[in-house]
Amino acid sequence: MTGVGANADGGIAHGAMLVRFATAVLGDAAAELTAARTAIVEAMGGAALTDTAAVAALFNAIDRVADSTGIPLEEKKADVTADFRAALGIDAFAAATEKGSGA
Amino acid sequence: MTEISYRDLPWPVRDDITAAQARTWEKLAQPSTWLIGAERIAIAAEARQAQDCRLCRERKDALSPEMVQGEHDHLGQLSALEVEQIHRIRTDPGRLSRAWFQGLAAKGMIEERYVDTVGVIANVVAVDTFTKGLGLDPWPLPVAQPGEPSRHRPAATRKLAWVHTLAPQDAIGTVDEDLYAGRPTAAHIYQAMSLVPAAVKDFFDLVTNQYIPPQAMMDFDNEYRAINHAQIELVAGRVSALNQCVY
pLDDT for res A1: 39
Say whether both A7 and A56 belong to one domain: yes
Say whether both A36 and A63 belong to one domain: yes
pLDDT for res A90: 81
* Domain region containing A50: 1-69
Residue range B33-49: mean pLDDT, rounded: 98
Say whether both A35 and A77 belong to one domain: no
Residue range B10-21: mean pLDDT, rounded: 98
pLDDT for res B206: 98
| Closest CA of chain A from B122, distance in Å | 5
> What's phi and psi for B158, nearest 5 deg?
-95, 150
pLDDT for res A94: 74
| Nearest alpha-carbon partner for B118 in B206, B43, B61, B45 | B43
Residue range B111-121: mean pLDDT, rounded: 98
Residue range B20-43: mean pLDDT, rounded: 98
- Cα gap B101→B216, rounded to integer Å: 34
pLDDT for res A92: 78
| Closest CA of chain A from B115, distance in Å | 8
Chain B residue closest in CA terms to A55: B211
What are the residue boundaries of the structural domains of chain B, listed by start? 13-147
Of A74-83, A89-98, B214-223, give the lowest mean pLDDT range. A89-98
Residues B61-66: contacts with CB within 8 Å, 24+ apart?
B64/B95, B65/B92, B65/B95, B66/B100
Contact (CB<8Å) A70/B226: no
Residues B66-71: contacts with CB within 8 Å, 24+ apart?
B66/B100
pLDDT for res B247: 85
Contact (CB<8Å) B247/A63: yes
A99 has pLDDT over 90: no
Of A86-90, B62-66, B123-127, B157-161, give the lowest mean pLDDT range. A86-90
DSSP alpha helices (H): ranges in chain A? 15-26, 30-44, 46-69, 75-80, 82-88, 96-99
Per-residue pLDDT of B81-113, as tens digits, reads 999 999 999 999 999 999 999 999 999 999 999
**Chain A residues 30-49 within an 8 A CB cutoff of chain B:** 33-34, 37, 41, 44-49
DSSP class per residue in chain B: -PPP--TTSSS---HHHHHHHHHHHHHHTS--SS--HHHHHHHHHHHHHGGG-HHHHHHHHSSSGGG--------SSS-HHHHHHHHHHHH-GGG--HHHHHHHHHTT--HHHHHHHHHHHHHHHHHHHHHHHTT-PPPPPPPPPP-----------B-SSSS-B--HHHHTTSTTGGGGTT-S---HHHHTTTTSHHHHHHHHHHHHHHS--HHHHT-TTS--SSS-HHHHHHHHHHHHHHTT---
Kindly report the average pLDDT of chain B as a whole number: 96
Please count the CA atoms within 13 angstroms of the CA of A1 that sit on its side-chain side.
12
| Closest CA of chain B from A63, distance in Å | 6
Per-residue pLDDT of B183-221, as tens digits, reads 899 999 999 999 999 999 999 999 999 999 999 999 999
How confident is residue B182, by pLDDT bands cut at 50, 70 and 90? confident
Say whether both A45 and A84 belong to one domain: no
Contact (CB<8Å) B210/A62: no
A2 has pLDDT over 80: no
What percent of chain A is predicted at pLDDT more than 90? 60
The domain tally of chain A equals 2
| Closest CA of chain A from B82, distance in Å | 13
pLDDT for res A78: 81
User: Across the interface, which of B89, B227, B242 has its CB nearest the CB of A68?
Assistant: B89
Say whether both A53 and A91 belong to one domain: no
What percent of chain A is predicted at pLDDT more than 70? 88
User: Across the interface, which of B132, B207, B247 has its CB nearest the CB of A25?
Assistant: B132
Candidates A18, A32, A67: best to mutate against B (most CBs of B within 10 A) is A67
This model of the complex carries an ipTM of 0.97
pTM of the entire predicted model:
0.94
Q: Between helices B229-242 and A46-69, what is the axis angle to 10°?
A: 50
Dihedral sign for Cα B181, B185, B189, B193, please.
positive
pLDDT for res B53: 98
Chain B residue closest in CA terms to A45: B11
pLDDT for res B110: 97
Contact (CB<8Å) A69/B226: no
B39 has pLDDT over 80: yes
User: Across the interface, which of A23, A46, A70 has its CB nearest the CB of B162?
Assistant: A70
Chain A residue closest in CA terms to B122: A61
| Closest CA of chain B from A78, distance in Å | 9
pLDDT for res B68: 96
Cβ neighbours of A29 in B, within 8 Å = none
A100 has pLDDT over 70: no
